[in-house]
Structures are given as C-alpha cells and as structure tokens.
Structure 1
Amino acid sequence: MSEDESRYSIQVIERMAKLLDALADQNGAVALKELARTTDLHPSTAHRILNDLAEYRLVERSQPGAYKLGMRMLELGNLVKSRLDVREVALEPMQSLHRHTGQTINLSVRQGDEIIYVERAFSERSGMQVVRAIGGRAPLHLTSTGKLFLAADDGRAVRNYALRTGLAGHTRNSITDVDKLERELASVRARGFARDNEELELGVRCIAAGIRDDTGKLVAGLSISAPGDRLQDDWIEDLTRTAAQISRSLGFRIGV
C-alpha cells in the first residue's frame, strides 16, 4: 500500500469513528444533516460512509435520511464484555500505583464469605513480607476489600454473615461484634473506601477502593497494604483514582 493509500484509509477510519461517536451521543435516530454538521463532514461523504456501515449492520436506517447504531454494535460490545478480565485490565494500573507508593498493591474478589487475592504488584522495597500469596483467602470482615463487599450488602445479609462466621478475630484489633461491624460499614459507605487497621495481621494496615463493572456491580477491590507506620492517607486519592480507571476500562460510567 502506498503512503497516499495508507493516509486515505486512516482518514476513512477516522470519519467512521466520528460518525459512530455522534450516533452514540444520541438516544434515537439522527438525521443525516445533523450527523454531517456535528462531524464536520460533507453530507455526501457522511451518506457514503453511513451506507457502508449499514451494509455491515454497524448502523441502521431507521427511516429515510436518519440513522442509529446497529445491532452488530451490541453483538460486538457483548463479545468484548464477555472477554474482559478484571485481572488483565487491572495489572498495568496496579503496577503504576505500586511504583508511585512503593507499597504492595492487591487485587481481590469475593467468593462466599471470603476474599481471594487474584493479583498483586510488589517488590522487595515494599518493606513488608507478603504473607498471603495469590490464591490466598481471608475473611471479609477482617480485610479492607472484604468490608467493601459487606458494605454493598443490606443489613440482613450482614447479620447473616455474622451468624455464619461468628466474626472470628485474628488480632486484638479485629472487629468481632456485629454492631461495631455495622458502624464500620456505615463509615465505609460514607467515605467510599475501606480500612483494615491491623485487623488481619498485626503490623499491617490496608486501604481499599471498589472496582465496578458496566452494570455498576462491585466485582473486585483494589487495596494498598503497608507496614502500620507507613500507610499514608495521601495515597487514598491515588488509590480511588486507580480503581475508577480500572472500573472505566470494564465499562462502568458514573450516573449511567
């Protein structure tokens, strides 16, 4: 392919993307004239590209001179969604957060009454021995990420959890009283992040923020673990921003 042909191909792709974005911004069908105006394309150019997109069901002609996104977009979107892996999406942002804080970064998911550590970013300079390996488990009420999941439950579910588990403690700081746990979960909901104050392991403190999918469901927690005297509240903003970045990669949109 010559340089001119390559440049022309890129230009066509850019115009297609502009038209698809313009259609995505509207709830219903959009007139050709309006699409041409919002994309700064000549109506004949927009018409030609839209017709090509319609052949592949990427757009549909809902009525003469008006277009909307086609069902093929939904099929492709569902395919992408089905192949999204929170671990894969989170890995690079986790490594970036680790480089910034110098501390261990954990990715955990819920399974029943426990969390499972599914990924971790750390190094020797983290200054803390990693006790629970990837695949390790911990009770929900003793971990920052576990508290995120409990905070997403209603009151009855939390009390049922307390009955099932007995709220067994691991350290002198562990929350073993259901009323105290409920107060802690109320604080989690109000703050938007959770803490573990040496409740799972003495000498280790954690903060966690939630990761949500395109439906708004809490699917994982991102946490920073550090020696008790090193954890900094200054990292909370970096943590929540990184969790939000991962959530956006999974399709989550605030207010949608």
Structure 2
Amino acid sequence: MVNQATSSIQVIDRLARLLDAIAANNSPVSLKILSAETGLHPSTAFRILASLAEHGFVERSSAGHYRLGVKLLQLGSRVQGRLDIRREARPIMEWLRNETGETVNLIVREGDEVVYVERVTPNRMMRVEQVIGARAPLHVTAVGKLFLAEGGAEACLEYAARTGLPVCTPHSITDPTALWRSVKNALQQGYALDDQEAELGVGCIGVPIRDSTNHIVAGISVSAPIERRREVWVSLIRQAGEKLSLRLGFHPENRPVGA
C-alpha cells in the first residue's frame, strides 16, 4: 500500500513537471524536448501526456507537439473568479510591513480617484495612518500615477482637463505636461513616488498589481514620514507587487517594455 501511494505521488510530480514545461514554451512542444526538459523517459512522458490529453489538460497537434488544453483555461477562470484581492494581498502586505517597518496600503482605482481598500500598520508610535475607504485624486498618489500612465498620454491629459488637477499640498503637480512626464517615467521604471503631494510630511513608493490580462488592477504602496522613506525599499516593494500579481495570474513574460 505504501509503495502504491508513493507511486501515485510520483506520477503527480511528473505530471506537474510536464505541465510546467509546456507552459514555459510559447509554442507547441515536441515530446523530445519535453522529455529532455523534465528528465523523463520519452515513453513515460508519452503515457502521461496521453492521459492528460484524454482529459483535456493538454492538446496534441497533428505534428505531434503538445500545448496546454482548454480544460486548464476553464479551471483557471474559476479560480480567477474566486480570488479576493484583499485576502491574497494580506500576507504579502504583512511581509512588506515587517521588512520596511512602515504602513503598507492596497489601493484600487475608482473613476478619477484611488481608494484605500486594505492596509497593515507597524507597531510604532509615529506612523502614517491611511484609513480604509479613504480617497485621493489619482495625480497626487504613487499608485494613482501608475493608473494614469497605463491609460496613455491622451487619457492622462483628459484627466487633467476634466479634474483641473486639484491641489492637495504645495508639492502637488498642477501642470498637465509635467504630470504626463512624471507618470510616464514612473511606468517605465516600474514604480512611482509621492513626494508630499497628497499630504505634507508624507512620502510614498507604489508599484502596480497586474492580473492575467496584464492590466493594472491595483497597487501596493508603502507610506512613511518623508524623512524615513528609503530608496532601498523599492526592490522590496517591487517583490511584493510581483508576488501578488503572480497570485492574480500575471505572467512575467507579458511584462510591458521598460517595466
């Protein structure tokens, strides 16, 4: 019985390796390549692939090459539909809070504003408090700038004309051309800054969260008193954004140029 259980686990392991190998290739893959990449004997790989094809998890072309099957797409859409971004983000945000010692925010877009939908705070007296449900104009927040950038120059300038770029602090950007230049640069570098633009004395670093369609659906930011904000946090915040994006189905190979 133990041997049978071990054998079953081994089959699952081999199955997973084959699916990962197929997914890693942008075009259908031959049995020879799959065998080499997984370390499986061709006959073993062929038997497992035949079973996967029978159940719709892979498809075999007329040339004998393999690609992922529609059954995986159906299952993936069910998982995607059940994902709660706040639930998925919470442990990642807590990790980032522990690494930086500062407040971490999960932010989404609603019209011309960002909305803070989740936050985790450090156990310290002097900290930045962002109330869940609080709102701010897109152009004065780090994550909001990334949303503006994704829409392109025309959409950014339309936002500026529509809103008049309300001033929150003396540091808020009020010139439409300067705003586009700032947000375009932010998207290219993969993160954005809020230099006391939403609140005096507070600086933020934000990164985008992308889903399986490669669109920005949210953002994570770290807020801190401006004198405590550190450039070395950028890599940590980008790691957090990458982790959450992967949880939402984002594929790194689809990353926009420059991001």
TM exceeds 0.5? yes
How far off is 1:178 after superposition?
A: 2.3
How far off is 1:66 after superposition?
A: 5.0
Could you tell me how far apart the structure 1 residues matched to 2:194 and 2:67 are?
49
Q: Rg bigger for which structure?
A: 1
Q: Aligned in 2, Cα 1:141/1:7: closer, same or farther, shift over 3 Å?
A: same
* TM-score (ref. length: structure 1): 0.88
Q: Aligned in 2, Cα 1:95/1:56: closer, same or farther, shift over 3 Å?
A: same
The letter of the residue matching 1:98 is: R
Work out whether 1:184 is the aligned partner of 2:164: no
Aligned residue in 1 for 2:163: 165
The letter of the residue matching 2:86 is: R
How far off is 1:160 after superposition?
A: 1.8
Could you tell me how far apart the structure 1 residues matched to 2:30 and 2:107 are?
47
Number of aligned residue pairs: 254
Could you tell me how far apart the structure 2 residues matched to 1:177 and 1:33 are?
59
Work out whether 1:119 is the aligned partner of 2:144: no
The letter of the residue matching 2:109 is: R
* TM-score (ref. length: structure 2): 0.87
The equivalences for 1:1-20 within 5 A come to 2-20=1-19
Q: Contact 1:108 / 1:221 at 8 angstroms: preserved in 2?
A: yes
Aligned residue in 2 for 1:48: 47
Aligned residue in 1 for 2:229: 231
**Structure 2, gaps ≥5 residues long:** 255-259
**Structure 1, gaps ≥5 residues long:** none
Q: Give secondary structure in 2 for the equivalent of 1:245.
A: helix
1:16-75: CA deviations, max 9, x gaps? 112222333445554445544443333443333223223322123434865443221221
Could you tell me how far apart the structure 2 residues matched to 1:167 and 1:26 are?
45
Aligned residue in 2 for 1:219: 217
The equivalences for 1:52-71 within 5 A come to 52-63=51-62, 67-71=66-70
Aligned residue in 1 for 2:153: 155
Q: Aligned in 2, Cα 1:231/1:6: closer, same or farther, shift over 3 Å?
A: same
1:80-137: CA deviations, max 9, x gaps? 233333322222111111001110001101110000111111133162251x421221
The letter of the residue matching 1:86 is: I
Percent identity for Structure 1 against Structure 2: 47
The letter of the residue matching 2:208 is: G
Q: Contact 1:126 / 1:226 at 8 angstroms: preserved in 2?
A: no
